[in-house]
């Protein structure tokens, strides 16, 4: 039982675990971000954090060779990790639902380090996967040391993962809601305070070394009748696209390479992404830079259309080859591209809405539908942009309708893609009963 007050039985050790997990996750987010930046500057000639700008200036051979190197690093790294550790997989959702939150620490942390290196080199995946894994591992470690119950461990691991998200992007409230709605899969009152405090502490600690500033700088968009009607029409489309994307991620995960292909497949797959990047450098990295341009209305319609296809293809290809990384920012980027395409078409029917607003609403819709967490998606977008009310009505409509359509067709979220059909059904029954599954 989660201690509801400070005077409850077992409360001191549980809240100590919350404090330590939050602080450790914040420190981990700083270290992993520094490693990401170092990796980027090393291969992209001092690019800082803007892979798109550096790749656009690099030669064609440079782009291909860097991605081939990322593929080789992935293949060797995966082989080493499998030799070093065994046991349960490193999927956080699976660990929480079926193993009471227990994760192999060495293998999970190794995968986190490998992911930020290859994402810095240009793999089409997100950087938030690493701090999420670090937060989950720390939560598991402190649960062992303080001898917490399985229910407390499950919650703390979810809180640690959400705190990693919060610390990585400076979004404490979004990280807390994400940990419950998406990772733990339950928005229960007794879970709220641990999630809030873990994410709050992690984000506050991370601000010692990371900037306290919005991730995306956007204009002051306004609600309008046109944007509301567009959101009602575009939301279901985003839901259908999300279903296809989640199923593509599930297919890629089920067909990860085995044996000697663990080295060959990443080299070939990421090499192909390098070739695509000769003409479309926007496919490299997590997509933050091209999303910012889309929110500013600075991406041409034909390029948006091309990236609606190429970005999910490259992300899925990375997963298919076994490349580790996150899916949060890539999903947001796909939504920004889709929203931009649908917005340009809509402007022929009902002009007057800034192109960047369509991209922002599309990002929120795809994010909500792929994670099946509309509340966390909405709060995260508001925190990431530093805006609150200026576009809330169409965003609620787009995110809500997209999630409804997606959830009607596909029970999995993008973070649960590796669960089998039987596990998904077990998880659904457990959620309805208010419990969890343990093996």
- DSSP of 247-315, one letter per residue? HHHHHHHHT---TTHHHHHHHHHHHHHHHHHHH-GGGSSSSHHHHHHHHTT-S-HHHHHHHHHHHHHHH
Residue whose structure tokens are 């993962």:
161
Each residue's pLDDT tens digit, 174-194: 999 999 999 988 888 889 999
**18 touches 156 (CB < 8 A):** yes
Contact residues for 229 (Cβ-Cβ < 8 A; gap 6+): 350
Contact residues for 298 (Cβ-Cβ < 8 A; gap 6+): none
Alpha-carbon distance 27 to 35, whole Å?
A: 13
Stretch 48-63: mean pLDDT: 85
Say yes or no to pLDDT of 163 above 50: yes
pLDDT on residue 431:
62
pLDDT on residue 260:
84
Stretch 358-385: mean pLDDT: 96
If you average pLDDT over each of 4-8, 54-58, 317-321, which comes out highest? 317-321
| Least confident piece of the model among 109-123, 183-197, 400-414 | 183-197
pLDDT on residue 89:
55
DSSP string, 348-403: HHS--S-HHHHHHHHHHHHHHHHHT-HHHHHHHHHHHHT--STTHHHHHHHHHHHH
126: which strand partners?
326
pLDDT on residue 439:
36
SS percent in the chain: helix, strand, coil, step 5: 75, 0, 25
Alpha-carbon distance 26 to 321, whole Å?
A: 30
pLDDT on residue 90:
65
CATH number of 12-206: 1.10.3080.10
Assign 139 a pLDDT band (cuts: 50, 70, 90). very high
Stretch 313-331: mean pLDDT: 94
DSSP string, 91-158: -HHHHHHHBTT---HHHHHHHHHHHHHHHHHT-SSBSTHHHHHHHHHHHHHHHHHTT--HHHHHHHHH
pLDDT on residue 162:
96
pLDDT on residue 430:
66
326: which strand partners?
126
pLDDT on residue 311:
97
pLDDT on residue 432:
63
pTM: 0.92
pLDDT on residue 437:
46
Alpha-carbon distance 70 to 199, whole Å?
A: 31
The helix/strand/coil state of 438 is strand
Round the average pLDDT of the chain to a whole number and report it: 90
pLDDT on residue 88:
47
Where are the domains positioned within the chain?
12-206, 225-431
**5 touches 11 (CB < 8 A):** yes
The helix/strand/coil state of 51 is helix
| Token representation of residue 233 | 């029409």
Stretch 48-70: mean pLDDT: 89
Say yes or no to pLDDT of 80 above 80: yes
Nearest to 131 by CA among 222, 25, 227, 217: 25
Assign 318 a pLDDT band (cuts: 50, 70, 90). very high
What's the full length of the chain, in residues? 439
- Pick 225-431's CATH classification: 3.30.930.10, 1.10.3080.10, 3.10.20.30, 3.40.50.300: 1.10.3080.10
Q: Do domains 12-206 and 225-431 have the same CATH topology?
A: yes
Quick one: which H or E segment has residue 24? helix 11-43
Name the more confident of 2 and 63.
63
| Token representation of residue 147 | 């001898």
Say yes or no to pLDDT of 123 above 70: yes
**226 touches 38 (CB < 8 A):** no
438: which strand partners?
99
| Token representation of residue 72 | 């080789």
99: which strand partners?
438
Each residue's pLDDT tens digit, 198-246: 999 999 999 999 988 899 999 888 888 999 999 999 999 999 999 999 9
Percentage of the chain beyond pLDDT 90 is: 72
Say yes or no to pLDDT of 248 above 60: yes
pLDDT on residue 406:
96
């Amino acid at each position: 039982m989660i201690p509801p007050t400070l005077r409850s039985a077992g409360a001191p050790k549980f809240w100590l675990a919350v404090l330590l997990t939050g602080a450790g996750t914040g420190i981990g987010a700083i270290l992993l971000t520094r490693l990401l930046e170092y990796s980027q500057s090393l291969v992209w000639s001092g690019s800082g954090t803007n892979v798109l700008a550096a790749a656009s200036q690099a030669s064609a051979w440079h782009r291909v060779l860097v991605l081939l190197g990322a593929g080789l690093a992935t293949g060797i790294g995966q082989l080493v990790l499998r030799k070093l550790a065994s046991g349960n997989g490193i999927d956080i959702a699976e660990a929480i639902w079926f193993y009471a939150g227990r994760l192999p620490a060495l293998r999970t942390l190794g995968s986190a380090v490998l992911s930020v290196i290859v994402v810095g080199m240009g793999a089409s995946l997100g950087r938030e996967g690493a701090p999420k894994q670090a937060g989950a591992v720390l939560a598991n470690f402190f649960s062992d040391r303080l001898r917490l119950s399985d229910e407390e461990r499950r919650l703390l691991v979810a809180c640690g993962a959400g705190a990693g998200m919060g610390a990585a992007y400076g979004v404490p409230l979004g990280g807390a809601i994400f940990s419950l709605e998406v990772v733990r899969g339950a928005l229960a009152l007794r879970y709220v305070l641990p999630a809030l405090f873990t994410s709050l502490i992690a984000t506050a600690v991370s601000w010692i070394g990371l900037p306290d500033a919005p991730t995306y700088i956007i204009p002051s968009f306004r609600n309008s009748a046109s944007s509301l009607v567009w959101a009602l029409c575009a939301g279901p489309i985003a839901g259908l696209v999300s279903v296809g994307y989640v199923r593509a991620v599930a297919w890629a995960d089920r067909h990860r390479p085995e044996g000697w292909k663990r080295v060959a497949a990443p080299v070939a797959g990421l090499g192909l992404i390098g070739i695509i990047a000769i003409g479309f450098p926007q496919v490299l990295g997590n997509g933050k830079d091209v999303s910012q341009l889309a929110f500013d209305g600075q991406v041409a319609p034909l390029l948006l259309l091309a990236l609606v296809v190429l970005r999910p293809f490259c992300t899925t290809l990375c997963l298919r080859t076994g490349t580790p990384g996150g899916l949060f920012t890539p999903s947001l980027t796909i939504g920004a591209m889709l929203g931009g395409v649908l917005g340009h078409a809509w402007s022929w029917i009902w002009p007057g809405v800034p192109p960047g607003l369509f991209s922002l609403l599309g990002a929120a819709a795809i994010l909500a539908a792929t994670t099946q967490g509309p509340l966390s998606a909405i709060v995260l977008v508001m925190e990431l942009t530093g805006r609150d009310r200026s576009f809330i009505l169409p965003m609620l409509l787009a995110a809500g309708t997209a999630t409804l359509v997606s959830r009607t067709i596909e029970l999995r979220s993008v973070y649960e893609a590796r669960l089998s059909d039987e596990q998904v059904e077990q998880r659904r029954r457990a959620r309805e009963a208010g419990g969890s599954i343990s093996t």
